[in-house]
Amino acid sequence: MAKTIGALWLRDFEKDGKKEKMMSGELDLGALGSISIAVFKNKKKDKDNQPDYRIVLSNPADKPKENGKSSGSDNAKEEDIDF
């Protein structure tokens, strides 16, 4: 039987006046604790061997709010995590 190690929620955010989608959630790493992550579509994909989505570590304060404004500083470059 498979063990659930986390969950993701689909979120809307706004970037450059355009509505975008992302997923955010937490992964339970057992004895190592849990980590917050965000998942973004890879808009720079040119070849089939490149990933469809990118996963980045995030702090809870870094998650975009529903109105599109971030409540903290971003750990990753925006061009790297753009949907």
Q: Is 43 left (phi over 0), alpha (psi -120 to 50) or beta?
A: alpha
Opening angle at CA 43, ends 24 and 40, nearest 5 = 5
As a whole number of angstroms, the distance between CA 18 and CA 37 comes to 22
**Tens place of pLDDT for every residue, the chain, 83 residues?**
889 999 999 999 998 999 999 999 999 999 999 999 999 999 999 999 999 999 999 876 655 554 444 444 444 555 555 55
